[in-house]
Amino acid sequence: MQDGSSPTIVAIDGPAGAGKSTIARLLAQRLGYTYIDTGAMYRAVALCSERQGISWDDPDGLERLTLSLDLEFEPDGERSRLLVNGEDVSEAIRTPQISRGASEVSRWPGVRCALVEQQQRMSAEQSVVMEGRDIGTVVFPQAQVKIFLTATPEERSRRRTAELSERGEEADPEQVLQEVLDRDRRDCEREHSPLRQAEDAMEVVTDGMSIDEVVEHLARLAEGRAKA
Ligand code: DC
């Protein structure tokens, strides 16, 4: 919080693979705010529905499931871990299958409402850097700082391929690009809270920028806005 009265909200939205997670996490550290990865919450719903045999095409079942989940972010050094009903699912939610599932389950308004409510509660008493698809448009339209972080699909698929191979997973760059484009289409074309840039968001295209450069740029922007 800047003055002890109201928390500051930095909203970062953008498409898959734009570097939101890494950048939002580092920015939060730099500003001393809490980092919240809302994509991880949609991923948790996809993971639990798969485990419980609830179809990604079953909006009522998914809504009931979402309302039953206790989601909690726990700080772990420089990272944060996501606990679902006490179980650490941070690794299990990072597979290509669950990426696709998250994009499928996030179509349904019942799932979105339940998660948006939790996201708003998480930020009631602390300054946050929150990243996702609808933070500046739906979750916190009143956020003091709104960033739309993006990069070309080719650059985003290059980063995803590198990320997967760092984790020891074989990835075909062409297939990764196709998955990125499919996910863009689903996230942008869905009926409820599609991915779009808020009118008052600042667009940052990260092609050719290093992570440090982007963080530095956003920190200056956030510090300026939070004081205003
Ligand atoms: O940011 P991510 O790749 O972890 O997000 C996974 C999926 O969750 C993404 O394809 C769309 C969905 N999502 C969403 O609809 N709204 C958010 N605020 C965050 C993610």
With a 6 A CB cut-off, is 134 part of the ligand 1 pocket? yes
What would be the CATH architecture of the domain defined by 6-33+127-228?
3-Layer(aba) Sandwich (3.40)
* Residue 224 CA to ligand 1 centre (angstroms): 28
Residues sharing a CB contact under 8 Å with residue 219, sequence separation 6 or more, in sequence order: 27, 30, 31
d(CA 180, CA 184): 6
* Residue 57 CA to ligand 1 centre (angstroms): 17
User: 226 pLDDT band (50/70/90 cuts)?
Assistant: low
pTM: 0.91
Residue 120 token pair: 């708003």
For atom 4 of ligand 1, the residue with the nearest CA is: 39
With a 6 A CB cut-off, is 90 part of the ligand 1 pocket? no
Q: Report CA Rg, the chain.
A: 17
With a 6 A CB cut-off, is 43 part of the ligand 1 pocket? yes
Check residue 3 and give its pLDDT.
53
DSSP 6: S
What are the pLDDT digits (tens) for 64-107?
A: 999 999 999 998 877 889 999 999 999 999 998 999 999 999 99
Check residue 163 and give its pLDDT.
83
Residue 162 token pair: 């590198």
CATH for 36-126, options being 3.30.465.10, 3.40.50.720, 3.40.50.300, 3.40.640.10: 3.40.50.300
With a 6 A CB cut-off, is 101 part of the ligand 1 pocket? no
Q: Is the pLDDT of residue 122 over 80?
A: yes
With a 6 A CB cut-off, is 187 part of the ligand 1 pocket? yes
Where exactly does CATH 3.40.50.300 map onto the chain?
6-33+127-228, 36-126
For atom 11 of ligand 1, the residue with the nearest CA is: 103
What are the pLDDT digits (tens) for 143-189?
A: 999 999 999 999 999 988 888 888 888 888 899 999 889 988 988 99
DSSP 139: I
Diameter of the chain by CA atoms?
A: 50
Q: Which of 118, 133, 184 to mutate to test the pocket of ligand 1 (most atoms within 8 A of CB)?
A: 133
Q: Relative to the CA of 131, which ligand 1 atom is closest?
A: 18
